[in-house]
Amino acid sequence: MKNSDKNIWQGESPPIYFDNAATSFPKPESVISEQNNYLLNIGANPGRSGHSLSVKAGEIVFKARKQLASMFGVKNPMRVVFGFNATDALNLAIKGTVQHGDHVITSAMEHNSTIRPLKQLEADDTISLTIVDADKNGRIDTQRVKESIRSNTSTVVINHVSNVNGVIQPIAAIGKICRDRNITFIVDGAQSGGYIPVNITKSEIDIYAFTGHKGLYGTQGTGGLIFADTFDYKKVKPLRAGGTGSRSSEIVQPDFLPDMFESGTLNVGGIAALCAGVEFVNEKGVENICKHEQQLAGYFQTKASETVPGFKTFGFDKQNAGIISFRIGYLSVSEIAGELSDRYGIMSRHGLHCSPLSHKSLDSFPEGTVRFGFSVFNTFEEVDDTVEALYEISKKAKVKSKETINHITH
Amino acid sequence: MEAIILFHSTNYAIWAQDLLKKNNITCKTIPVPRDLSSDCGYCVRTSPEDSNSAEELLKENDVEYDRVVVR
């Protein structure tokens, strides 16, 4: 790695940060400097005013749209609509698309950002819902999706890459099934954008939800939807209405992209950072980043299996994206994560990862797992140190009985 | 004389500016003249000589615009 890519942590003892699947850290220096540049030198509202700083702010937003469209295989940059994160984007995609009486298909590997909006819609009798099972490694069978289609199926919502074990779903195959039947296909790309190559056009995705603060190395508070060039975006109703800086004489919401979904001032500083993050990913190459993270996960799995007594992974596969879920014997996952953080400065995330369905699929519910999500900045040396720490934790900690775990309530 | 290209949204004005500049058409974003539109934000000004090729370029690239005013 280049010097500029080094961990920019300024504390005395740099942490080992494996919680990238929640928010990636550290950020590339260019991400920080671009956000700073916006705050120091531009600072204005994009598209509202006629002055030169407003134009500059608008240019930042446009550049980000162009880069994101290009990264995800979409031609028209206006098909990129900014929101605040993947959850925000998925709420718009799901609640904006479905209509009363629709049947919707989703999977047992969904994050709560998808399943909760869907369950809300089911509870108020707006939709009927089918949750397609996954196998014990978290894989969804395309055939099961196909078999679940009914005459009133309007929408399929599928998680692209699991935030629990990194399993990659057969998005293109599901996309084809949906496209052939004119069913709207929404993909939760929170863990795929920047982590694995994604092409919305080739995979026949209609609506792709992304977030800025994970694999795209931007900051929190950025994300959005990308509509396929061919998708009729007017099928989606805006959930927010308000000022857009366009058609200001009219008191009704505009009906064109991206304005119809972007009422209210955007997070331009965040978008400047995101733009730099996307450039960073492009420079590194998403295939290279993916390979590096997969190798780290594979190396960790092999080394920990050899070294740490009772080490067990859930749905691990070398082909998965660089996310790994594990336990050690009957040790509480919170104890492992707490020890890792407090004694060794290793950041992980334990528990259910806002994804109880996935943990049920992977047979790790209700205790959950300890999760490592790797980034381009992580190294094999960090994995070595972590395996050593886990070995010490496994020796020192009081091994609990299976019953202890089963009595944990969530 | 000038050609003013008006858009429904400044997002498209920025896109148009980017496209025209890349194709060596001199242009500038300017505040939307109040006598032409009540919209907030900016539009694109170019020369009357370039306005036809600018329009063609916008159409080719699906950059939606409201209208062009030569004055």
Residues of A in contact with B12 (CB under 8 A): 78
Question: Among residues A238, A253, A283, which one ends one of the domains?
Answer: A283
Q: Tell me if A336 is assigned to some domain.
A: yes
Cβ within 8 Å, pair B41-A47: yes
CATH code of residue A350: 3.90.1150.10
A153/A235 same-domain check:
yes
Residues of B in contact with A46 (CB under 8 A): 10
Q: How many domains are there within chain A?
A: 2
Of A48, A68, A67, residue with least CA distance to A58: A48
Q: From A246, which residue of chain B is nearest by alpha-carbon distance?
A: B9
Mean pLDDT of B36-58: 92
A211/A292 same-domain check:
no
Q: Which of B4, B7, B8, B11 to mutate to test the interface with A (most CBs of A within 10 A)?
A: B11
- CA B54 to chain A, closest CA, distance in angstroms equals 18
A131/A49 same-domain check:
yes
A119/A249 same-domain check:
yes
**Residue B46 banded pLDDT, cuts 50, 70, 90:** very high
A292/A278 same-domain check:
no
Q: How many domains are there within chain B?
A: 1
A223/A327 same-domain check:
no
Residues of B in contact with A54 (CB under 8 A): 41-42
Interchain CB contacts (distance < 8 Å): A and B: 78
Cβ within 8 Å, pair A50-B30: yes
Q: What is the rounded CA–CA span in Å between residue A230 and residue B21?
A: 27
A139/A214 same-domain check:
yes
Residues of A in contact with B8 (CB under 8 A): 246-247, 254, 256, 259
Cβ within 8 Å, pair B29-A55: yes
Cβ within 8 Å, pair A248-B42: no
Q: What is the rounded CA–CA span in Å between residue A280 and residue A276?
A: 6
Residues of A with CB under 8 A from a CB of B: 46-51, 54-55, 58-59, 61-62, 65-66, 76-78, 244-249, 254, 256, 258-259
Percent of chain A with pLDDT over 70: 93
Kindly state the helix (H) or strand (E) to which residue A287 belongs, with its residue range: helix A286-307
Question: Among residues A224, A254, A283, which one ends one of the domains?
Answer: A283
Cα–Cα distances in angstroms (integers) from residue A91 to residues A113, A209, A214, A258, in the given order: 8, 10, 19, 17
Res A11: pLDDT:
56
- CA A195 to chain B, closest CA, distance in angstroms equals 28
Q: Tell me if A220 is assigned to some domain.
A: yes
CATH code of residue A151: 3.40.640.10
CATH code of residue B9: 3.30.70.1530
A89/A135 same-domain check:
yes
Domain that holds residue B26: 3-70
Is beta strand B3-6 parallel, antiparallel or unpaired with respect to B67-70? Answer: antiparallel
Residues of A in contact with B13 (CB under 8 A): 58
Would the CA dihedral through A382, A383, A388, A393 be positive or negative? positive
Res A234: pLDDT:
97
Question: Among residues A283, A307, A331, which one ends one of the domains?
Answer: A283
Q: Tell me if A232 is assigned to some domain.
A: yes
Residues of A in contact with B11 (CB under 8 A): 47, 58, 61-62, 65, 78, 246, 258-259
Residues of B with CB under 8 A from a CB of A: 7-15, 18, 29-32, 38-42, 62, 64
Res A308: pLDDT:
97
A171/A292 same-domain check:
no
Residues of B in contact with A233 (CB under 8 A): none
CB-CB contact of A165 with A320 (8 Å): yes
Domain that holds residue A169: 29-283
Res B39: pLDDT:
78
Residues of B in contact with A246 (CB under 8 A): 7-11, 39-41
Cis bond before residue A238 (omega within 30° of 0) = no
Cβ within 8 Å, pair A50-B18: no
**A220 phi/psi in degrees, rounded to 5:** -65, 150
Q: Tell me if A34 is assigned to some domain.
A: yes
Q: Which two tokens stand for residue A199?
A: 């092409």
Q: Tell me if A19 is assigned to some domain.
A: no
A278/A308 same-domain check:
no
| Residue A198 burial (C-beta neighbours within 10 Å; 0-12, 13-18, 19+) | buried
The size of chain A, in residues, is: 410
Q: From B31, which residue of chain A is nearest by alpha-carbon distance?
A: A50
Residues of B in contact with A258 (CB under 8 A): 9, 11
Cis bond before residue A14 (omega within 30° of 0) = no
A158/A267 same-domain check:
yes
Residues of chain A falling short of pLDDT 50: 1-4, 399, 401, 403-410
Per-residue model confidence as pLDDT tens digits over A307-362: 999 999 999 999 999 999 999 999 999 999 999 999 999 999 999 999 999 999 99
A126/A169 same-domain check:
yes
Which of B7, B41, B62 has the CB atom closest to A50's CB atom? B41
Of A54, A384, A387, A97, residue with least CA distance to A245: A54
Q: What is the rounded CA–CA span in Å between residue B57 and residue B60?
A: 5
Q: From A248, which residue of chain B is nearest by alpha-carbon distance?
A: B39
Cβ within 8 Å, pair A248-B39: yes
- CA B18 to chain A, closest CA, distance in angstroms equals 9
Q: Which of A45, A49, A52, A55 to mutate to test the interface with B (most CBs of B within 10 A)?
A: A55
**What ipTM was estimated for this complex?**
0.91
Residues of B in contact with A49 (CB under 8 A): 31, 40-41
Tokens 């120091």 -> residue: A40
